[in-house]
Amino acid sequence: MGSSMDFLNWLDPDMSIKIFMCLDDPADLVRVSSVSRSWRRFVIVNGLCKQLCLRMFPQLSRVASLLNCTSTKQRNLWKLDLAT
C-alpha cells in the first residue's frame, strides 16, 4: 500500500467531530474506532458514542446517569483501556 495520511492529525478536533457525527449507524462508529488506536481514543475521549445515542434516542437525555463514569475505579479502568 502507498503512504497514508491520518486526517485526525491535520484537522481541527471540532471538524473531525463534525465529520464523525455525520455517521448515523452505530456500527459505522464501531468500525471507525477499529481503524487505529488514535481513532479509537478520539471516539472515546470525545464521547461520540454517547452523542450518537442521544441523537438517535433523544428520550435518553432525561436519564441523569447516562454513560457517566462516576467512581474512581471506573475512571482508572477507562484510563488503562485507553493506554492500550
Q: Tens digit of pLDDT for each residue in 20-34?
A: 999 988 899 999 999
pLDDT tens sequence across 36-83:
999 999 999 999 988 898 888 888 777 645 455 555 556 666 566 666
Whether residue 57 is contained in a domain is answered as: yes
Residue 33 in any domain: the answer is yes
**Cβ–Cβ under 8 Å, residues 35 and 19:** no
Residue-level length of the chain: 84
62, part of any domain: yes
Domain around 68: 7-83
Does residue 2 sit within a domain?
no
Q: Is residue 61 part of a domain?
A: yes
> What integer pLDDT is reported at residue 83 of this predicted model?
61
pLDDT of residue 1 exceeding 60, the answer is no
Domain tally for the chain? Answer: 1
Whole-angstrom distance, CA of residue 13 vs CA of residue 24? 19
Q: What is the pLDDT of residue 41?
A: 93
Rounded Cα–Cα distance for residues 84 and 72 (Å): 19
pTM > 0.75: yes or no? no
Q: Does residue 1 belong to any structural domain of this protein?
A: no
Q: For residue 29, how many other CB atoms are within 10 A of its CB? A: 19
